[in-house]
């Protein structure tokens, strides 16, 4: 796969015009865009639809977490824009039904396991007495059993998870940093090339690109790191 196609840029902006400003610069250097809650609450499906003109796959990262009926209706509503991926929190134990599977067609349902802003200490505070790796692995098994197309996990778990994957199961990985000293609010991070080498199908990169004075250079550096680790 062409190295740029691994890279999805997280457009965490409230204003649609801010998304477009950066997209005009980077659209030819990335594989897709991720739209999360900050963007979605401000702009909704209409805003997401307007970004489709750039011709990039759209990863709708809504982290749906509710009772099954509500999750299913939310997915159906989102299908209006034909997103390439939608996220659902694994801790709501959503089961992908035959009905929704027929409706989603080309949209992949991706299970969110453990946020990259959390680590073992945070899990213990929440009363979960296992390591983040074991916890994520357990949720991945549920995702496979519940007929998801893939999961979101930190790069730290990749090497363990990839040993037990069914064919075509996706691993989407945020927490990507070229400079390990700049973590922002992330706790479980890794370089882009190492993440791809360890089994990530998609890496999600936001602030290192969008907050940079030269976002294209940052993306080119990410691509270079991927290429080096491929060889």
63 in active site: yes
Q: In this structure, how many other beta carbons lie within 10 angstroms of the beta carbon of residue 219?
A: 23
By DSSP bridging, strand 32-35 and strand 7-10 are parallel
Contact of 151 with 96, CB cutoff 8 Å? no
How far is the CA of 88 from the CAs of 26, 61, 177, 208, 218, in angstroms? 28, 8, 24, 25, 30
Q: Cβ neighbours of residue 222 under 8 Å, at least 6 residues apart?
A: 7, 176, 178, 192, 203, 205
CA angle 26, 31, 32 (to 5 degrees): 85
Of 4, 52, 63, 197, which residue is the catalytic one? 63
What 3-state DSSP class applies to 151? strand
Taken in order 12, 16, 18, 23, the sign of the CA dihedral is positive
Residues 186, 169, 52, 31, Cα dihedral to 10°: 70
Catalytic residues: 63
């Amino acid at each position: 796969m062409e190295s740029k196609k691994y890279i999805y840029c997280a457009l965490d902006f409230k204003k649609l015009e801010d998304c477009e400003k950066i997209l005009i610069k980077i659209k030819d250097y990335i594989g897709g865009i991720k739209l999360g809650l900050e963007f979605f609450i401000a702009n909704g499906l209409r805003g997401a639809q307007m970004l489709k003109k750039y011709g990039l796959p759209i990863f709708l990262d809504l982290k749906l977490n509710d009772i099954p009926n509500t999750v299913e209706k939310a997915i159906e509503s989102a299908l209006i824009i034909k997103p390439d991926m939608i996220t659902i929190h694994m801790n709501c134990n959503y089961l992908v039904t035959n009905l929704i599977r027929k409706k989603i067609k080309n949209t992949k349902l991706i299970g969110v396991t453990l946020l990259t802003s959390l680590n073992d200490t945070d899990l213990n505070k929440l009363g979960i007495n296992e390591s983040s790796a074991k916890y994520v692995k357990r949720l991945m098994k549920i995702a496979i059993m519940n007929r998801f197309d893939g999961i979101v996990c930190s790069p730290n778990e990749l090497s363990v998870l990839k040993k037990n994957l069914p064919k075509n199961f996706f691993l989407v990985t945020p927490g990507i940093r070229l400079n390990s000293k700049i973590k922002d609010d992330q706790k479980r991070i890794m370089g882009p090339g190492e993440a791809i080498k360890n089994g990530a199908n998609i890496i999600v990169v936001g602030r290192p690109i969008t907050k940079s004075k030269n976002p294209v250079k940052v993306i080119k550096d990410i691509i270079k790191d991927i290429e080096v680790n491929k060889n």
